[in-house]
């Protein structure tokens, strides 16, 4: 299998879950150093692995990376699209470059990697499975993070269409709409005062454990879920759901003293 | 990847109300005890995918029966299950299983839509009781349905609540 952005964070959690299930794991990252760090952790689980550098916004680079992965590990039959970037910023302060970076890594990257994967599976006459890392805020908007609000929703909506396009070829496509899964490289994992304030705001009473996300992502690609395709599964401890009819007073994001996300 | 859910539901007592051979088989294979008696850890309520009629041909009694099974019994059953969990001081999981909103007639459209938003609402109301509430709306009745239900009943899905999930493309 191949995971994009697999060197750290949620991508690494996906990669580890696939490795636990017995897969050979190609770890793709912008930075080869980070991909190699992730691959070392996967190798420690006893799985065959290979680290690669790739900019998922370039179709040529994506094709080359698939060539490299298949040369080392054999045909790629499962794909996890995780590559993405995200940071709190007011919409009026998002530069064209920042907008392009966040949206194109997630939107173009997911499309290009998925299409490359599908062309190879169709050419071989074999099916496969794709899982996309989407987010719980795709149904509500995400004030303070407009670029990611757009990008993550595009991943979820293309999931359904890619699934329809490739169902005749036996390629399944699903997504996990993930809530807060703090890790060393996430904004929420880097807070000075820890994750306790996040725990309190979530109906389940805690943030998610990163391996819970990895397990569900990998499960959607296994024969256990052989008939599932085109689905977006929310895994967020109830975080995206409304708490009450009455809401706290509205504070425009630019007036929040603790930053665009409201706590940062 | 060869995976089995061996032991995922070990020690759990699950009542599957309504019939789903696939869910029963998957829960048993994962180690659950299926029973409608005594202390329950999981309540699964299944309404089989039935026939559809044009709205103008649905008699009120038929409409009521559909809403009764597809919505009322589900709410009242979940309420009883959650009451029992709280009385015992334990968490639990509720899983509603039925047809997609637009799969059948207007009765199903009403019941499934209501059920979906009820799932989200109860998931939040009972979250701090450790009671999760999820819903599968699908036409599928095979192994994937069973495995998905077993996953949602298990502690591996501890961070999944208020989710409405399909299986097939047109679910």
* pLDDT tens, position by position, A67-119: 999 999 999 999 999 999 888 999 999 999 999 999 999 999 999 999 999 99
Nearest to A243 among B1, B124, B161 (CB): B124
- A175 contacts A214 by C-beta, under 8 angstroms: no
- B168/A229 touch (CB, cutoff 8 Å), yes or no: yes
Note whether residue B143 is domain-resident: no
Note whether residue B115 is domain-resident: yes
Nearest to A225 among B121, B147, B161 (CB): B147
Q: What pLDDT tens digit does each residue of chain A (264 aa) get?
A: 999 999 999 999 999 999 999 999 999 999 999 999 999 999 999 999 999 999 999 999 999 999 999 999 999 999 999 999 888 999 999 999 999 999 999 999 999 999 999 999 999 999 999 999 999 999 999 999 999 999 999 999 999 999 999 999 999 999 999 999 988 777 766 666 677 778 889 999 999 999 999 999 999 999 999 999 999 999 999 999 999 999 889 998 899 888 888 765
- A225/B5 touch (CB, cutoff 8 Å), yes or no: no
Question: Chain B contacts of A242, Cβ < 8 Å?
Answer: 120, 124
Note whether residue B69 is domain-resident: yes
What is the domain count for chain B?
Answer: 1
Nearest to B165 among A23, A160, A231 (CB): A231
d(CA B45, CA B17): 5
CA B171, distance to chain mean position in Å, is 15
Note whether residue B4 is domain-resident: no
φ/ψ region of A177 (left if φ > 0, alpha if ψ in -120 to 50, else beta) reads: beta
**Among A66, A111, A117, A137, the one annotated catalytic:** A137
Alpha helices in A74-203 (DSSP H): 96-103, 109-124, 146-166, 196-201
A137 flagged as catalytic:
yes
pTM for the model stands at 0.94
Note whether residue B152 is domain-resident: no
- A163/B169 touch (CB, cutoff 8 Å), yes or no: yes
B142 near A CB under 8 A: yes
Look up the domain containing B54 and give its range: 13-138+160-165
Q: Coil, strand or helix: which one is B137? A: strand
Q: Tell me whether strands B92-98 and A78-81 are parallel, antiparallel or unpaired.
A: unpaired
This complex has an ipTM of 0.90
What is the DSSP code (8-state) at residue B148? Answer: H
A167 contacts: CB under 8 Å, gap ≥ 6: A229, A230, B169
Report the CATH number that the domain containing residue B45 is assigned in CATH. Answer: 3.40.50.720
Note whether residue B148 is domain-resident: no
d(CA A53, CA A69): 11
Question: Chain B contacts of A235, Cβ < 8 Å?
Answer: 159-160, 163
């Amino acid at each position: 299998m191949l995971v994009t952005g697999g060197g750290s964070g949620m991508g690494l959690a996906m990669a580890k879950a696939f490795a636990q299930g017995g897969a050979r794991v190609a770890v793709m990252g912008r930075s080869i150093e980070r991909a190699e760090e992730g691959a070392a952790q996967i190798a420690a689980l006893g799985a065959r692995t290979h680290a690669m550098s790739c900019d998922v916004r370039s179709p040529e680079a994506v094709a080359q990376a698939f060539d490299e992965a298949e040369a080392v590990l054999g045909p790629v039959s499962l794909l996890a699209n995780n590559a993405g970037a995200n940071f709190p910023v007011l919409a009026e302060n998002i530069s064209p470059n920042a907008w392009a970076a966040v949206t194109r890594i997630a939107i173009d990257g997911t499309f290009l990697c998925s299409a490359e994967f599908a062309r190879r599976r169709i050419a071989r006459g074999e099916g496969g499975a794709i899982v996309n890392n989407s987010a719980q805020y795709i149904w509500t908007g995400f004030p303070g993070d407009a670029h990611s609000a757009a990008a993550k929703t595009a991943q979820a909506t293309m999931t359904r269409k890619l699934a329809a396009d490739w169902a005749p070829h036996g390629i399944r496509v699903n997504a996990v709409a993930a809530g807060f899964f703090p890790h060393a490289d996430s904004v929420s994992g880097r807070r000075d005062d820890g994750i306790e304030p996040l725990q309190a705001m979530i109906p389940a009473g805690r943030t998610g454990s990163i391996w819970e996300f990895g397990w569900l992502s990998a499960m959607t690609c296994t024969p256990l879920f052989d008939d599932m395709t085109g689905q977006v599964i929310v895994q967020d401890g109830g975080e995206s759901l409304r708490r009450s009819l009455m809401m706290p007073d509205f504070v425009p994001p630019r007036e929040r003293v603790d930053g665009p996300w409201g706590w940062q | 990847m060869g995976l089995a859910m061996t032991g995922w539901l070990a020690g759990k007592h699950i009542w599957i109300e309504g019939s789903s051979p696939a869910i029963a088989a998957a829960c048993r294979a994962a180690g659950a005890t299926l029973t409608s008696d005594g202390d329950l850890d999981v309540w699964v309520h299944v309404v089989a995918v039935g026939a559809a009629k044009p709205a103008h041909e649905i008699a009120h009694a038929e409409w009521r029966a559909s809403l009764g099974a597809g919505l009322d019994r589900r709410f009242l059953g979940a309420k009883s299950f959650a009451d029992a969990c709280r009385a015992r001081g334990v968490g639990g999981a509720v899983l509603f299983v039925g047809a997609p909103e637009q799969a059948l007639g207007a009765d199903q459209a009403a019941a499934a839509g209501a059920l979906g938003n009820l799932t989200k609402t109860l998931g939040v109301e009972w979250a701090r009781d450790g009671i999760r509430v999820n819903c599968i709306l699908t036409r599928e009745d095979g192994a994937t349905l069973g495995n998905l239900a077993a996953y949602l009943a298990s502690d591996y899905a501890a961070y999944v609540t208020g989710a409405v999930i399909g299986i097939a493309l047109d679910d």
